[in-house]
Amino acid sequence: MRANSEIDPICGPGGTRAREVLDLVSDKWSLYVVAALGQGPLRFSQARRVVVGISQRMLTVTLRRLVRDGLISRTVTPTVPPQVTYALTETGHSLRLAVQPLIEWAFTTADDIAVARAAYDAQAEGQA
Amino acid sequence: MRANSEIDPICGPGGTRAREVLDLVSDKWSLYVVAALGQGPLRFSQARRVVVGISQRMLTVTLRRLVRDGLISRTVTPTVPPQVTYALTETGHSLRLAVQPLIEWAFTTADDIAVARAAYDAQAEGQA
DNA sequence: CTGTATCCGCTGCGATACTG
DNA sequence: CAGTATCGCAGCGGATACAG
Q: Produce one character per residue of B54-87: b if its CB has 16 or more CB atoms within 10 Å, e if not.
A: beeebbeebbebbbbbbbbbeeeeeeeeeeeebe
The overall pTM is greater than 0.95? no
pLDDT at A10 over 70: no
pLDDT at A3 over 70: no
How far away is chain B from the Cα of A50, in angstroms, using its nearest Cα? Answer: 6
Tell me which chain B residues have a C-beta less than 8 angstroms from the C-beta of A17.
Answer: 110-111, 114
Residues 6+ apart with CB under 8 A from B124: none
Distance B19 CA to C3 C1' (A): 28
What is the average pLDDT score of chain B? 84
The pLDDT score that the predictor gives to residue A13 is 46
